[in-house]
Amino acid sequence: MLVLGIESSCDETGVALVQAGGGAIPRLLGHALHSQVRMHEAYGGVVPELASRDHIRRVLPLTRQVLAESHRSLPDVDVVAFTRGPGLAGALLVGAGVACALGASLGKPVLGVHHLEGHLLSPFLSADPPEFPFVALLVSGGHTQLMRVEGVGQYELLGETIDDAAGEAFDKSAKLLGLGYPGGPALSKLAEQGDAKAFALPRPLLHSGDLDFSFAGLKTAVLTQVRKLGDQVDARKADVAASTEAAIVEVLLKKSLAALKATGLKRLVVAGGVGANRHLREQLDAGCARRGVRVHYPELALCTDNGAMIAMAAAMRLDAGVDVAVRTYAFDVKPR
Ligand code: KG4
Ligand code: ZN
């Protein structure tokens, strides 16, 4: 079974082809990605209308590229998968519309996938895939969640953010430091030259006794610190960045360890854009190694949004029998 996956929820157009069936973990045959980061940079964030228009321009050329690189043609595709949500409505509609048009014209079924399930299952695309069950730490620009994962489609939410997501905390703090968009990678890079102990920033809900997160207060604390520094902020930027990163990472680490302890599970899967953060990976690796826990990540290139994770999630849902692809092409998207 060949599954074509299309991701268009935000500012990356991603297309991929995976081969599934025979009980094995689906295999990635090819994927292509176009990032709109340069286009939105000047605006300091994603402009939804520009995003939708660019998805329209990119999605078919990327599809052709993936098929050519995989030595397959469109009629070989058995199922067309797309991101149904969450994401920007207009952007989602492009992927959904193209997927359903392809499905209808080829006479092949389509399947809408939850974007976060794509992130969650993306480590199965790596050379060292996890085994069920595991605890998952999902850290993206819009979500921060801890889940108990028993199998495909068997997800129990253990805790989540009550306000901002971890990626949002990175992005908003980076903006306060004038680092532009997207802020996470820029802040993380600058943090490498800074002193993480320079400023005592809050670790919200660290001792709350549950597995929830809160990052809105951290952003306010960074703002207060930046104002306090006044003219000296440029000279201390790296220190603020390092202190901010340390605060976010410490909370993610401690809550992940608490989730592992509460569930008794010995495997942790980390997924979503923030999972690309080097400091987070180092801390999780060290903290988990001490407790005999194995940590699995997606490949760095597949941490942020991509089509491979959508094709993979669709293939795994179909393989596991928890979902069926349909021949009704009246598509709906779920932005929230
Ligand atoms: O998963 P993703 O690509 O998109 C969403 O589904 O939201 O995650 C994007 C988020 C952004 O907030 C971005 O700043 C953050 O992931 N991010 C990082 C790093 N790379 C991406 N945050 C910290 N360090 C990084 N290296
Ligand atoms: Zn994402």
> Could you tell me the distance, in angstroms and rounded to a whole number, from the CA of residue 15 to the centre of ligand 2?
14
Per-residue model confidence (pLDDT) at position 156: 98
**How confident is the model at residue 321, as a pLDDT?**
95
253: amino acid identity, one letter:
L
Q: Which of 274, 297, 310 to mutate to test the pocket of ligand 1 (most atoms within 8 A of CB)?
A: 274
Q: Tens digits of per-residue pLDDT, 161-216?
A: 999 999 999 999 999 999 988 899 999 999 999 999 999 999 999 999 999 999 99
ipTM exceeds 0.85: yes
Nearest residue to 163 via CA among 213, 198, 113: 213
Rounded to the nearest angstrom, the gap between the alpha carbon of residue 149 and the centroid of all alpha carbons in its chain is: 17
Compute the C-alpha angle 53/110/132, nearest 5°. 105
Q: What pLDDT score was predicted for residue 78?
A: 98
CA of 58 to the centre of ligand 1 (A): 22
How far, in Å, CA of 159 to CA of 191, rounded?
A: 28
Mention every residue, 6+ apart, whose C-beta is less than 8 A from residue 302: 122, 125, 126, 308, 309
Residues with Cβ within 6 A of ligand 1? 119, 140-142, 167, 170-171, 182-185, 188, 272-274, 276-277, 304-305
- Which residues partner with 146 through β-bridges? 137, 159
The alpha carbon of 154 and the centre of ligand 2 are apart by a number of angstroms equal to 20
Strands (E), the chain: 2-7, 12-19, 27-35, 79-85, 110-114, 134-139, 144-151, 154-160, 267-271, 294-296
Instruction: Specify whether the CB–CB gap between 309 and 125 falls below 8 A.
Output: yes
pLDDT at 22: 82
Whether residue 86 contacts residue 96, with contact meaning beta carbons closer than 8 Å, is answered with no
Q: Which atom of ligand 1 is nearest to the CA of 168?
A: 12
Which has the closest alpha carbon to 121: 12, 200, 28, 238? Answer: 28
Question: Which pLDDT tens digit goes with each residue over 74-125?
Answer: 999 999 999 999 999 999 999 999 999 999 999 999 999 999 999 999 999 9
Whether the per-residue pLDDT at 288 is higher than 90: the answer is yes
For the segment 8-60, what is each residue's pLDDT rounded down to a tens digit?
Answer: 999 999 999 999 988 899 999 999 999 999 999 889 889 999 999 999 999 99
95 is in an annotated binding site: no
Q: How far apart are CA 29 and CA 16, in angstroms?
A: 8
What are the pLDDT digits (tens) for 209-261? 999 999 999 999 999 999 999 999 999 999 999 999 999 999 999 999 999 99
Nearest by Cα to 76 from 23, 7, 4: 4
Q: What is the pLDDT of residue 23?
A: 84
Of how many residues is the chain composed?
336
Tell me how far apart the alpha carbons of residues 117 and 72 are, in angstroms, rounded to a whole number: 26
89 backbone φψ class: left, alpha, beta (φ>0; ψ -120 to 50): alpha
Decide if 310 contacts 118 (C-beta within 8 A). yes
pLDDT on residue 227: 96
pTM of the predicted structure, to 2 decimals: 0.94
**pLDDT confidence bin for 331, thresholds 50/70/90:** confident
* 306 assigned ligand-binding residue: no
| Residues pairing with 81 in the sheet | 5, 111
Average pLDDT over residues 115-144: 96
